[in-house]
Homo-oligomer: A and B are copies of this chain.
């Protein structure tokens, strides 16, 4: 089954001609999931191989403009390329529903599909004092939905401070909170373990030939054969194969909450806005350095750390720029902690296929 990351925007603060604003696609079997949607993401989408009509879930890490101002326009464009009967599901912090509804209402936009916004209820500890002081209205009138809107949920954190956005027998998506200037979230996408392989040599040791009952054994049930013998999965089925795990973080200057759910992930997408020597500035703005990202990656035993959300001062690696002007210096700083083969800088339109676990 497919799990492929495609970066549509890798710049911080605003979209520029060299880097789009934050947007990542995770291609799954059931459609394309989008993480964050800064202004211009729909243009980047058109330039990529991703098809707008295939986007069926959108996750917004936080409400800063460079992570959500592209959403109303994207919905219009999806509407023009729509192939879906199921509603589009959108997840994000409280306030997201109001932003989408206001934008669609005032522009008198009617969509060719229905949508649902599920909001994550923010914890008091996530709200910095200056944000608390500036009171705004972030909830919506629940009596008057947009004509294409279906009623969404308010998702609360559990006692471990984990928000479960989605959970079925194939996949789960959980969120944790990150320290930033406003409430921000990181997402952990966990594929379910797949059943172990039936060991045919062990079956034949017991003198049994495979039959239609094998499927039940593989699914973990003890089976009684016509001759009265019982086959216990514990004897003939190998260990379950762990599913893949992908972590996509929002803006953060402290990612410690991801430790609850992020251990041993295949990929960690983590911001690295400014280089190590500018750590004070990064912290002040609620952002991370490559060193900070790599410490998290190392602690979690991540296979591949992908840095993104670069200050527009760092250019993409190309012949046009000296190496010191590019994100190369950020990658090097992370490699000092994680080792040389486990760190990559995201670029707009870079795709990474996440291989099945061995």
Contact = CB atoms under 8 A, between A and B. Distances in A.
Interface of A: 13-17, 21, 39-40, 42-43, 46-47, 63-66, 68-70, 72-73, 76-77, 80, 95-96, 98-99, 102-103, 105-109, 131, 134, 136-138, 147, 181-182
Given A15-B40, A43-B15, A63 B107 contact: yes
A105 B136 contact: yes
Nearest to A68: B107
A80 B66 CA distance: 14
A40 B39 CA distance: 6
**Copies, count:** 2
Contacts of A77: 14
9 smallest beta-carbon distances between A and B, as pairs: A39-B73, A105-B136, A65-B107, A102-B102, A40-B40, A95-B106, A69-B73, A99-B106, A108-B182
17 contacts: A13-B76, A15-B43, A17-B43, A17-B47, A21-B73, A40-B40, A64-B107, A65-B107, A65-B109, A69-B69, A69-B73, A69-B107, A95-B106, A99-B102, A102-B102, A106-B138, A108-B136
Nearest to A110: B134
Nearest to A73: B39
Given A105-B136, A136-B105, A136-B106, A17 B39 contact: no
A15 B44 CA distance: 10
Nearest to A20: B43
A237 B172 CA distance: 82
A24 B252 CA distance: 37
Contacts of A73: 14-15, 21, 39, 65-66, 69
